[in-house]
């Protein structure tokens, strides 16, 4: 296994181009199961997770070619309705093949995703939603088994104790597009990636309204055809690069971004003292004045992204003042705290809260990545720290950040890979 080594203290400057959104690509790739026609998806990042989804589609009978950021999905022999454990257990997002398999074949058997370090990842809302379309669903030997003679549109409320569910909304949408009649999803997830999936489904011939809002209406159709689609930019990669500029007191132009996908983060960074200048589809990010601590509560979109909480905690660890973090989506998503403490961060945990007292500096140390966004948080801390930081288990990082070493090196960072 490799580890990433960072010699901190360089002010990052220059330009970085953001890749396509991982959390948009994965459900859109799953949606290609809804047709035998060819689908062409552009701006697909080369990630561990996207390659896992290619393998899952191939195991289900699809032919998947990937070249230069473009994926072409066509049909091989018949589609298999079973997504097996060994692939699904490596990536929770694989659950999003449940909806299209059910929509297309009226049956699906998808392994329950493995556990997840960021917190409990139930699928009760996925099951509630597809049951509302008339499917029989039960759990059997670690699989979600679903079937229906026919699917009919239903009216459902899909909010859970932690708010709306991104992939449950995706799964219900992908089953409902081929159901007969109208489906209304209340408390649908509003994330840009859900809206991007809906846009792809509409290009395939689906009839969807309200995507990006809490009420999505779908009129089922008989057939969906192939389509070509370009994935939206990855707002979490963009946010991570924005923080890389601020934590190193740098000056970075982040290109290929969609401002309105970053509203909560931009608001908080400006409150803290950042200067964020918007031009075309780029953001120039640097400090306007000495940054100060802020209060962060993670909420469903358009609230502050849970996937940016760990990265923001790195920044607040080296900003004067006190910051309060509250996790309303994953209350235990604090695996990165222990590692930041090894670098000198002053963080106190209390249930879903973490209180950060900013320090003058962090010191480089050997640390361990525990999940995708925690590994990004440690990269940011390493860029700012005095001395050398080595981050082990960086396969977590490779799940969601395309060519991150190269992108950081081009901004002046002293970062390289070593064998563990
Ligand atoms: C998506 O996961 C993202 N993954 C996650 O990003 C992201 O953190 C999450 O949404 C929240 O924004 C992808 O899109 C591939 P949820 P998802 O269902 O859909 C609870 C990353 O780093 N819940 O929106 O699985 C759940 O426990 C990843 O890129 C239920 O209670 O998340 C959580 O508390 C990590 N019942 C809340 O809802 C359910 O049936 C939101 O989860 C489903 C979820």
**Ligand 1 centroid to 266 CA: how many Å?**
22
- Note whether 2-19+234-419 and 22-220 share their fold: yes
Instruction: Give the residue numbers annotated as catalytic, written as ranges.
Output: 116
**Ligand 1 centroid to 298 CA: how many Å?**
12
- Edge to edge, the sheet with strand 282-287 lists 13-17, 251-255, 282-287, 274-279
User: Is the distance from the beta carbon of residue 122 to the nearest atom of ligand 1 less than 6 Å?
Assistant: yes
What is 22-220's CATH topology? UDP-n-acetylglucosamine1-carboxyvinyl-transferase; Chain (3.65.10)
Contacts of residue 288, Cβ cutoff 8 Å, sequence gap at least 6: 273, 274, 275
- pLDDT tens across the length of the chain (420 residues): 899 999 999 999 999 999 999 999 999 999 999 999 999 999 999 999 999 999 999 999 999 999 999 999 999 888 899 998 988 888 999 999 999 999 999 999 999 986 667 887 899 999 999 999 999 999 999 999 999 999 999 999 999 999 999 999 999 999 999 999 999 999 999 999 999 999 999 999 999 999 999 999 999 999 999 999 999 999 999 999 999 999 999 999 999 999 999 999 999 999 999 999 999 899 999 999 999 999 999 999 999 999 999 999 999 999 999 999 999 999 999 999 999 999 999 999 999 999 999 999 999 999 999 999 999 999 999 999 999 999 999 999 999 999 999 999 999 999 999 998
Break the chain into its structural domains and give their ranges.
2-19+234-419, 22-220
**Which tokens hold the place of 178?**
């081929």
Ligand 1, atom 14, residue with closest C-alpha:
23
Ligand 1, atom 10, residue with closest C-alpha:
166
Dihedral sign from CA coordinates of 280, 282, 287, 293: positive
Ligand 1, atom 25, residue with closest C-alpha:
167
User: Is the distance from the beta carbon of residue 353 to the nearest atom of ligand 1 less than 6 Å?
Assistant: no
Q: Which CATH number fits domain 2-19+234-419: 3.30.1950.10, 3.40.640.10, 3.65.10.10, 3.30.830.10?
A: 3.65.10.10
User: Is the distance from the beta carbon of residue 121 to the nearest atom of ligand 1 less than 6 Å?
Assistant: yes
**Ligand 1 centroid to 133 CA: how many Å?**
22
Give bridge partners of residue 233 from the DSSP assignment: 20
Asked if 296 contacts 309 with a C-beta cutoff of 8 angstroms, the reply is yes
The pLDDT assigned to 114 comes to 65
């Amino acid at each position: 296994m490799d580890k990433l080594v960072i010699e901190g203290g360089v002010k990052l400057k220059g330009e970085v181009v953001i890749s396509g959104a991982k959390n948009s690509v994965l459900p859109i790739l799953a949606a290609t199961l809804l047709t035998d026609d060819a689908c062409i998806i552009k701006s697909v990042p080369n990630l561990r997770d996207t390659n896992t989804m290619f393998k899952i589609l191939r195991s289900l009978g699809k032919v998947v070619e990937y070249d230069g950021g473009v994926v072409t999905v066509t049909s091989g022999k018949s589609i298999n309705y079973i997504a097996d454990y060994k692939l699904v257990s490596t990536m929770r997002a694989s659950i999003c093949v449940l909806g299209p398999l059910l929509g297309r074949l009226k049956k699906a058997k998808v392994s329950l995703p493995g556990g997840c370090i960021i917190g409990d990842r139930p699928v009760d809302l996925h099951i509630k939603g597809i049951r509302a379309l008339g499917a029989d669903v039960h759990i059997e030997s670690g699989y979600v088994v679903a079937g229906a003679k026919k699917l009919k549109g239903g009216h459902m409320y899909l909010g859970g104790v932690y708010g709306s569910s991104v992939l449950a909304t995706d799964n219900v949408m992908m089953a409902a597009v081929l159901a007969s009649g109208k489906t209304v999803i209340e408390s649908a997830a509003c994330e840009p990636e859900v809206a991007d999936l809906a846009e792809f489904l509409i290009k395939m011939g689906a009839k969807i309204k309200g995507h990006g809002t809490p009420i999505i209406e779908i009129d089922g159709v008989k057939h969906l055809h192939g389509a070509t689609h370009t994935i939206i930019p990855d707002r979490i990669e963009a946010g991570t690069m924005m923080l890389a500029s601020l934590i190193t007191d740098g000056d970075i132009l982040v290109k290929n971004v969609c401002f309105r996908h970053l509203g909560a983060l931009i608001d908080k960074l400006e409150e803290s003292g950042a200067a964020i200048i918007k031009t075309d589809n780029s953001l120039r990010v640097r400090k306007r004045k000495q940054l100060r601590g802020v209060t962060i509560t993670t909420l469903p979109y358009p609230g502050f992204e849970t996937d940016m909480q760990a990265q923001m905690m790195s920044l607040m660890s080296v900003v004067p003042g006190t910051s309060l973090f509250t996790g309303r989506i994953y209350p235990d998503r604090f695996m990165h705290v222990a590692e930041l403490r090894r670098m000198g961060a002053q963080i106190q945990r209390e249930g879903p809260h973490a209180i950060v007292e900013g320090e003058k500096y962090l010191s480089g140390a050997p640390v361990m990545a525990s999940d995708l966004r925690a590994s990004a948080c440690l990269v940011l801390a390493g860029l700012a720290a005095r001395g050398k930081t080595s981050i082990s288990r960086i396969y977590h990082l490779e799940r969601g950040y395309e060519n991150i070493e190269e992108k950081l090196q081009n901004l002046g960072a002293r970062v390289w890979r070593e064998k563990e």
